[in-house]
Copies of this chain bind each other. A is one copy, B any other.
Amino acid sequence: MLSSEIEIEIRFSETDAMGVVWHGNYLKFFEDGREAFGKQYGLEYLTIFDHGFFTPIVKSEIDHKAPVYYGQKIKVITRYHPSRSAKVLFSYEVINMSTGQLAAAGQTMQVFLRRESRELELITPEFYRAWKEKHQI
């Protein structure tokens, strides 16, 4: 299974009045995880864009397990999940590196939109099929 890791320092602006990371910011961490994955395996947003597509998020889920405080560091583990349809599926684990605890888990689903028309592409784009083949998925 293809996966990737990235370490992130919490910004002060990412905390809320409870003194912990505001829950919605985990979608930014997931985004960081996807980008780290894309960089490692050659599937960056800009690569996809150059092939004529956007890949907007159409579904996301977050399960919060433990709070993360300012001054703590996190690690995001991003795992790629193969799909037969024209979708990109990732799952994520956010580890609080200061405690070793799992802070959150989640997943996202992305689809392919044609860049110009913004129409949904239902057939796996050729570049993505080639990418999967290269990685034996």
Contact = CB atoms under 8 A, between A and B. Distances in A.
A90 interface: no
B54 A18 contact: yes
Interface residues of A, number: 37
A70 interface: yes
Nearest to A22: B13
A67 interface: yes
Given A12-B35, A13-B16, A60 B62 contact: yes
Contacts of A61: 59-62
Interface of A: 9, 11-13, 15-20, 22-25, 27-28, 31-32, 35, 44-46, 54, 56-64, 67, 69-71, 118
